[in-house]
Structures are given as C-alpha cells and as structure tokens.
A and B are shown apart, each in its own frame.
Chain A
Amino acid sequence: MPSWSEFEPFIVSGLALGGVYALSGVGLVVLYRATGVLYLAFGAVGAMGAFLTYAMIQASLPDWLAWIVCILFGGVITLIYGMIFGPPLARRDPLVRAVATLGLTLILFGAMDLLWPPTGGEVRSISLPTDNGGFTVAGLQVDWTQLIGLCAGVVLTVGTAAFLRYTKLGTAMRAMANDREITATLGVPVRRVEAAAWFGCGILAGIAGLLLADLVQLDPTTLTFLVISSLAAALIARLRSIAVTFVAAIVIGVVHDLLTPITSLTNYRDMTPFVLAAIALLWVSRHRTVMTRSREEA
C-alpha cells in the first residue's frame, strides 16, 4: 500500500478531474429537472464545439472569437434540438427521451469523423492562455485552467442553485420538474422555460468541451464519452440535487485518481463512476425501503 505522501499528488489531480466532471453533471441535472430529458449528447456537443474552435484557430481567426463560437455552438445546437424534438417527445417515457439524444450524439460524432478524420499521426490540440502559469501544491504544478475547471464547477453549482431558488424562471423550472401539465395550466410559458433550459445546458456543454479539450485531449471519442462519469455523478444525486451532483463528481474524480498508485486496482479505476453510482443507488434504495417500512409500522 502506498504511503500518504504518495497519495497526495493524486488528490490534487483528482480534484481537477472531479471539477470538470462536476461542470458537466450540473448541466445534465438542470436540464433534466426542467425538461425531464437526460441529455446524452452533452459530451458530443462540447466536442464538436471544441473542434470548431480548433478549426478557427487553425484558420488564424482570433482565439477569443473561437472560444465564443464553441460556447455558443453548444447553446444553439442544443436549443435547436430541444425545440424540434422536445415537444413531440415530451409525453414519451424518460428512457425514450434519453435515447433520442443518442441520435444527436451519433450525428455529431459522425460529423467530427468526417470533417476532422484521423490524419495518420498528426495530433490536434487546443491550448488556453491560462495553461501558462499557476502554483505548486504537493510538489505538483497546478495551472490556472485546472483551477478554472474546479472553480467553474463550484460557481455553477452555487449560481444554478440560487437561480433555481430566487428567480422566476428558476421557480418555473422547478415547477415543471414537479408537474409539467399543472405548471402549464397555471400560465407558465412552458416552451419558453424549456428553451431557456436547453440553451443554458448547451452553453455549459460548450464551456465543458472547451475546458476538457485543453485539460484532457481534443479527441472526438474521449470528449464524447467523458460525459459518462458526469452521468454517474448525476445519478448519484438521483438527477435532482445539484449540490450532491457536485460532491459526487468530486468524489468520483478523487477516488478514481487515488486508485492509480494501488497496483492491484489501478487497471480497474475507470470503473469508479459505475461502482460508486451502483453503490449509491443501492444504498438509497435500501434506505428508502427501511424508512417506508418504519413509517408503515408506526
């Protein structure tokens, strides 16, 4: 078993990884709460935006413009999907709505493969100015991009929670999460609220895609499927609590990296999100059963 000092650097790297999982997880939960859709295309949308950024930078366009396009692309493509497919699928089973977003995933995945095919060796990458500079923790250099990734998760969690609690739009979203029909009957502009949720979720996908392209790598497969860890975090929070999603994402990132130096477990560390999600769901399920029985006996 490695010593504590050997684990220290992995806590730092795990926090950075968990931060970006949190960023995606929060976006997924917000959209689910407002529309009932589990948006599996989150990663692919971010990846496509990141590739557009790469293409624009290669074309010598200003970096800042490329970043804005990446973020806006996420918002616009998600909004378009939500406006076209949201209403007809609104009455369908949640599973159907989730699987429908896989269609968008595959379309974007195919488009990336078509537009940016493997070149036989050339490596594509995006670098942000925040990669230069930072500070040292536990003998490791932490750059500003990693810190931004972590902070963005915190800020979005707090900001989104406040938005849902204190704004009219947020209240409408929470109401829709409880009962879409009754909310519509009360005069809430359901379509407009949903549009805001789709657009906001897409913006988060764009931000996450840009950060992950820098922090992980600019690869369609990697970026598209990195959302799985975020999904696990969202599931642990039962697709409801933004705060729990954030904490779960951080825990997944840290546990994942802490397993790295343990020789017997290191090859299984990619299972971390699934194992933690399964344990959490089983615990929640058992806990609720016990609570229900206790109430019935009382």
Chain B
Amino acid sequence: MNRYSRRRPRLAAAAVAVIAIGGVIAGCSSNNNSNSSTSAPTSSATTSAPATSSASPSTSAAAASTSSCGTKPGVAATGTPIPLGGIVTDQSGTSFTDISNMAAAYFACVNANGGINGHPIKYYIETEQTNATQIASEAKQLVQSDHVVGIVGNTSIIECSVDSSYWQAQGFNIIDSGIAPECYSTPNSAAVNMGPRYSSDGAVQYALTQHPSKIVFDQSNVPGTTYIAAGPNALAKAAGVPITDDATNVPVSDANSVAIQLVDQAGKDGAVVLNFTPPDALVILEAAQKLNIEGNVKEWGCSTPCNTDFLAKSLGSKWNGKFFVNAELTPPDPTTSPAMSLYRAILAQYGKAVSGGIGSFSQMGFTEAELMVKALESVTGAYTVTSVNAAIKALKNVDTGMLCQQWTYGSYSMHIPNNEDYTVTPDNGEMVIAPNGGCTQISAVDPQIAQYRSEAGTAPSDPTSSS
C-alpha cells in the first residue's frame, strides 16, 4: 500500500509532464509548420513561392555568354559600390535563399562586366527564421549600418507584414517575391511572382475551363487562409460552381485521410485544387495514387509550388493530363529566348550557391535583379535612397523575358504586376504547358485583381518571354 502510494503520484507527475512536453513539442512543431511551410515552404504553404525544377543548367547554357549582363563586357567595375539589401527566410523546412543567391549571381555578373556606370553592386543578404523582432532588426541594420539604397529579392513568410510601414517611412520601394498579403496590397512593394492567392486563382480558373460540377480547394492551415481562399471562392461563385474550402494541418501526417476526404467532397465530376508546398502536395497526391482514388475525380489542380519536374517524376504517368499546375513564370524547359539563355549562363557561371538550379526560385531572383539593374541604370547623378527608389517606381512596361506581361511598378496603392500566367501539366516526368495553358489573364472576378487593373490597367504582353 505504501509502495503503491509512493509510485502513483510519481507516475501521475510523469504523465502530466509528458503531456505538457508533448504539447509544447506539438506546439513548436505546429508553429514551425505554419510559419513555414514551406518551399518549399512549408507554410509556405501559403507561399506560392514556387519551387524548383530538378533540371540542371545545360551545357549549352554554360557556353552561352554572360557578357550581355553589363555594359562593358569583361571589364570589372571598380567604382564606389552601390549597396543593396534583401531579407529571406532560411529555416528548417523553408528556405528561399535560392532567390537572393540568384540575384547575387546576377549582380556578380553585372560587376564583372562594367557594373552600373562603373560602380559595382554590393548586395547584403539577411536571413530570418520567421521572427518578427529579428526581421524588424534586420531591416534597420540594412538601412542604418549597411546604408543600402535599395531593397531587392526579399522573400519571406512574414517580412512584408512586419516591415511594410518601415520601408514606406524610409522611402524604399521594394522589388520582391511576395507571400504575405502586404507584398501585394501596399504602395511600396511589387512582386515578380503572383503569390499564393493569385496563383490559386489561376489554378481554379483553369480547373473551371474543364467544367467540373464542384471545386474543393484545400490549402495549408496557416494564418491567411481566408485571404487566399477569397480569390478562388469569387471565381467559382461567378462561374456558378459550388466550392468547398478546406484547410489541412502541415506537415501532412495523415495524407490518406486527407486524400479520401478531398475525393469524397469533390465527387466524380468535381475538381480538387491544392495550395501546398511541394512536399505536402506530393504526399497528398501520392496517397491518392496509392489508394487508387486519383481517378475518382474529374481533375486535380495546384498552385505554383507544384510546378517542379521532381514532382512530375515522382507522380508518374498516371497523372498525365489529369493534374494541372499554375505557373507564374515562363517555363524554362522549352524556352530559348535571350533572357532565358542569359539566365542559364549566369546560373552556370555565377550561381554555385543556387542549390536548386533551374526553377521558379532562381527565375524570380534573376528577374528581380534584372529589374533592379534597369532601375539603377536609369539613375542620373548620385545613387541615394531617393534617386534609386524613384527610379524603381518609374519602371514601366519592362520586358523581363520571364513573365507573360511587361512589368510595371508605378505609383499605385497596390501592386500585382504579374497577373497573367501559364498552366502546366506533368508529361512523363516533366512539366509541360497544358492544352490551352498559355498566357492567360487572372480573372478580374477576384476583387483584388479588379482593383489593381482599375488603377494600373492591363499590361501589354512581353514579346521576349517566348522562344
């Protein structure tokens, strides 16, 4: 009796402690996921920051010349450096450093070929771990210690939300890859990508062209799901197609039940559209495949993160013509345009730090650096915060070679300059442009797109983005 009495409280204490520890661990895990996500963000989930192709730079690309990235081929810039900065998420499970590293590669190429009127670019990259205090501190460090005159390449799960007011107060116009709503809804941030909401719009819009009886839209259960789902809901309702919104905890640890639920909800004539990072999208799709229920719906769709050859290879031929993915940037595989050749050449010569190689992330970094260089080249006089950011704001109808449309910054209350996209589909291990999946405008049924177009109009097509 005595012995039992001694042991019971000890066991009870241990049990309580373990539940507490488990709760803390689960909380940490959940936080980590929701913050991340990602790229492959786990939460990124919400990030539509796209993923990477498994392809590597081709030998022909390596042979292509990088001299066209500067005005004086082969002449290294030796003038006073122009300091620029960027903040990217780099944490367990979520890393966007390929974007800033590709921008750095572009700047290295520019510096080796004359720089900006003889001035090399000095690019400061700060990494963050989804910590608002850290992010705010890094922004101040870039401005106050590094004295940067421009911000480019920012790609972070929460940076836009945290720093938007600060950048505005300091007079910066940011060129970034957007994830958080503030990357698109504020006057001083313009992204080269479409972000999770508009990319999901694109995926739903393509799904609607197949005339499904219903759409089930599933995304990572992280903050911001309502904002993202608002776009797909508006599109489906305008088309008179019922839509169900789901939110799944990430990382997905019960993919079988998720896949069953999605298929049950959609029905045999319905469509399932996912907004997840590649790892989570893949486990759901693979679960459906293993359970042999992938054919129980009319079609599957996904926002940009699913646009990776790796995913296409992993899924196999069962998904050919069954799975459609929104693509925010020009697919690199079939394109041999001058911009795409330069991108491949820079990646091959200067992009050793770009771990993912050819793919959406490095394309974004290339495009952001390209836009910044165009802005810097237009500056007359000293390179100051005022002159550089005025030049950024003045960017108008720029041919990037990477987007469907010409890219414009402008003095608008919000910025969604990339609002026309592709749709790709797996084809024996590669993502190829889907039937009728060429450049298509995101529908103005999404009120945010309508508002942007009412301010900025519709940008002309980029004639340099196709081969």
Contact = CB atoms under 8 A, between A and B. Distances in A.
Interface of A: 6, 9-10, 13-14, 16-17, 38, 40, 94-95, 98-99, 102, 109, 113, 117-123, 125, 131, 136, 139-141, 143, 216-217, 219-222, 225-226, 228, 231-232, 235, 238-239, 256-257, 260-261, 266-267, 269-270, 273-274, 277-278, 281, 285, 288
B21 A217 contact: no
5 contacts: A40-B21, A94-B14, A121-B305, A257-B256, A266-B246
Contacts of A118: 38-40, 92-95
Contacts of A139: 293
B283 A217 contact: yes
B13 A140 contact: no
B15 A281 contact: yes
A263 to B, nearest CB: 9
A23 B273 CA distance: 34
B18 A216 contact: no
Given A118-B40, A118-B95, A141 B292 contact: yes
The list of the 6 closest CB pairs from A to B, nearest first, reads A121-B51, A121-B52, A141-B292, A13-B256, A120-B356, A118-B95
Contacts of B260: 9-10, 13, 140, 260
Nearest to A219: B251
B291 interface: yes
A266 B264 CA distance: 14
A225 to B, nearest CB: 4
Interface of B: 8, 10-15, 17-19, 21-23, 25-26, 29, 32-33, 38-40, 50-54, 92-98, 221, 246-247, 249, 251-258, 260-261, 264, 278-280, 282-283, 286, 290-293, 305, 308, 310-311, 314, 355-356, 359-361
B279 A221 contact: no
Contacts of A274: 19, 22-23, 26
Contacts of B19: 235, 274, 277-278, 281
Nearest to A118: B95
Nearest to B12: A285
Nearest to A112: B92
A284 B110 CA distance: 71
A283 B22 CA distance: 20
Contacts of A6: 264
Given A13-B256, A119-B356, A221-B29, 14 more contacts: A14-B257, A98-B18, A118-B39, A125-B286, A143-B290, A217-B279, A217-B283, A221-B93, A232-B22, A235-B18, A238-B15, A270-B253, A277-B19, A281-B19
A98 B52 contact: no
A121 B21 contact: no
Nearest to B38: A118
Contact of A120 (B21, B96, B283): B96
B252 A239 contact: no
B314 A123 contact: yes
Contacts of A217: 251-253, 255, 279-280, 282-283
B253 A13 contact: no
Contact of A141 (B52, B290, B360): B290
Contacts of B221: 267
A257 B254 contact: yes
A120 B290 contact: no
A119 B308 CA distance: 12
A228 B359 contact: no
